[in-house]
Amino acid sequence: MAKKGKTIFVCKECGYESPKYLGKCPNCHSWASFDEVQDAVHEDLRNRNRLIDRQQAEALPLKDVSSKTSQRIKTQMDEFNRVLGGGVVPGSLVLIGGDPGIGKSTLLLQVSAELNKTGGVVLYVTGEESPQQIKMRAERLDISDTDFYLYAETDLGNVETTIQKLQPDYVIIDSIQTMYRPEVDSAAGSISQVRESTSLLMQLAKTLKITIFIVGHVTKEGNIAGPRMLEHMVDTVLYFEGERHQSFRILRAVKNRYGSTNEIGVFEMREDGLAEVLNPSQLFLEERLAGASGSAVVASIEGTRPILAEIQALVSPTAFGNARRTASGMDYNRLTLIVAVLEKRAGLLLQNYDAYLKAAGGVKLDEPAIDLAIAVALASSYSDRPTHATDCFIGEIGLTGEIRRVSRIEQRVKEAAKLGFTRIFIPKNNYPGWTHPQDVEIIPCVTLSQVLDRTFNV
C-alpha cells in the first residue's frame, strides 16, 4: 500500500506510470511527457473509473452476443447527422475540436435546440460563459424559447450530481479545458485534469446511457489540446474547420466508432447561426473563372459523399536557383511527386519553374484520385492553355505515368454529371462493369500522356 503523500509520474501521452521522472517514455517514446501526481489519488481515480462491474461481467460465446444496437436520434441538421454516421448514438462520447471563435459553441447550441425538439432532455454545461451570455447568443440564433437546461459550473463533482438529479438524455460540456476534479491536485486545463475529467464523463455516458458532447480547444499545431490518449478514449472525434475570414465551415469526422471516418458536413456562418450547405460541390465551383488556365475539376470522395472541387495551379519561371513548390489544401509530397512524373513521362520541363497548388474553397483533399486533376492543372498553367469548362478528371497516377483504378467511380461520375460536366476522364480499368449516365462522354485512359493529348489537342 502506497504511503500517504507518495508521488508517481504518469506519461500524459500514453498513461505509463513510473516511480521516478523519466525524460523519455519507455512505452510511447515521447519526450518530456511525465507529470507528477499523488499515488493515492491516482489509485482512487483508477478504481472509480472502472467501467465494468466484475460481478456482472462474464465471458460469452460470440454467437450468443446480441447485435442489437440503439436506434440513432436524427436531428433536422442533415449535415450534422451525416458526420455522426446517420444520427446521434445514445451512450456515446463525442469530442469536438476547433480553433477559438470558429463556431463550436454556436454549433452545439443549435444542436441542443434540435435535440430538445426530439423530446430529449438536454443539459448544457458552460464553463466559459455565463447563462446570460448563452441567452444572448440563443436570442441571436432565434432559439431562446427552447427549454433545455443551462448550468454554469466547472466542478465536475457538481456536474455529476446534477446529471444524476436531472437524468438528461444529452449533455454538452463547453469546454473540457475548464472542467476540474477536486481529487486531482492540479489546475483546470492541465494534462491530468483533462484526462481524468474525460474519464469520468466516459463513465457517466456508458453507465447512464446518455450522449455527451465535449468541446476541446486545439493547439498551434491544430491538434486537440491535452493528452493524445484523449482521442482514443472517446467514441467520436470531430474537427470544426474553416478560415476565420471566410463564412464557410467544415465539420470533419476523423474517428467514429459508429460510422464512416473522413465524413464531412459543410455549413455557412451567418448572423442567425450556422446554415447547412446541402450541395457543397456547387459551392466549391461557383466562383470558377471561365477560360482561365491552371484549373481542373475532380470528383473526390469525402467519407460516403462525392464532392466536386476545383484544383488550381500556377506555374511560373523561378527567380532563384531552386524551384519552389507550395501546396495548400493538399499534401506537399503529392505535388512534388506529380511534378516529377510530368517531367519524366510527359516531357514538361518544370525544373526551372515554381509550382503553386491550391484546392479552391478551403476544402482539404488527400485521396489518390485527385492525382490526375493535379497533373492536368499543372500542365494547363505551364502551357497557358485552359481546360474545357465541362471536363472532369478522376484517377490516380503511378510513377510510370499510368492511370490507376480508383474506388466508387460510379458515384463520382454521377455527381459530376448532375452538375453539368459532359466529359469525364477516368482510368480504363474503371470503365466496365457499371451503367454510364446518358449525355456524358466517359473517356477511359491508360497513361497520363493520353489524357494531356486529349485535353489540349482535341
Angle at 157 between CA 153 and CA 162, to 5 degrees: 65
3-class SS at 42?
helix
87: Cβ contacts below 8 Å, ≥ 6 apart: 72, 73, 74, 75, 81
64: Cβ contacts below 8 Å, ≥ 6 apart: none
3-class SS at 232?
helix
- Asked if residues 122 and 167 have their Cβ atoms less than 8 Å apart, the reply is no
- Asked if residues 375 and 401 have their Cβ atoms less than 8 Å apart, the reply is no
Identify the residue whose cell numbers are 513548390.
325
Burial 108-132 (b: 16+ CB within 10 A, else e): bbbbbbbbbeeebbbbbbbbebeee
- DSSP output for 377-389: HHHHHHHT-PPPT
Q: Return per-residue pLDDT of the chain as tens, 458 residues.
A: 344 457 788 787 666 788 889 999 888 788 888 877 765 455 555 555 444 444 456 788 988 887 766 788 999 999 999 999 999 999 999 999 988 888 999 999 999 999 999 889 999 999 989 999 999 999 999 998 888 999 999 999 999 999 999 999 999 999 898 998 888 777 787 777 888 899 899 999 999 999 999 998 877 666 776 666 788 889 999 999 887 677 889 899 999 998 888 788 999 999 889 999 888 888 888 888 888 999 999 999 988 889 999 999 999 999 877 899 999 999 999 999 999 999 999 999 999 999 999 998 778 898 999 999 999 999 999 999 999 999 999 999 999 999 999 999 999 999 999 999 999 999 999 999 999 998 899 999 999 999 999 999 74
Strands 295-302 and 273-276: what pairing?
A: unpaired
What is the reported pLDDT for 399? Answer: 96
Alpha-carbon distance of 15 to 25, in angstroms, equals 10
Query: In angstroms, how far is CA 167 from the centroid of its own chain?
Result: 30
What is the reported pLDDT for 236? Answer: 95
Q: What is the 8-class DSSP label of residue 436?
A: P
DSSP H helices, 404-458, are 409-418, 448-457
What is the reported pLDDT for 259? Answer: 86
Query: In angstroms, how far is CA 279 from the centroid of its own chain?
Result: 18
Preceding amide of 144 cis, omega within 30: no
Q: What are the C-alpha distances in Å from 158 to residues 13, 151, 182, 183?
A: 28, 10, 10, 13
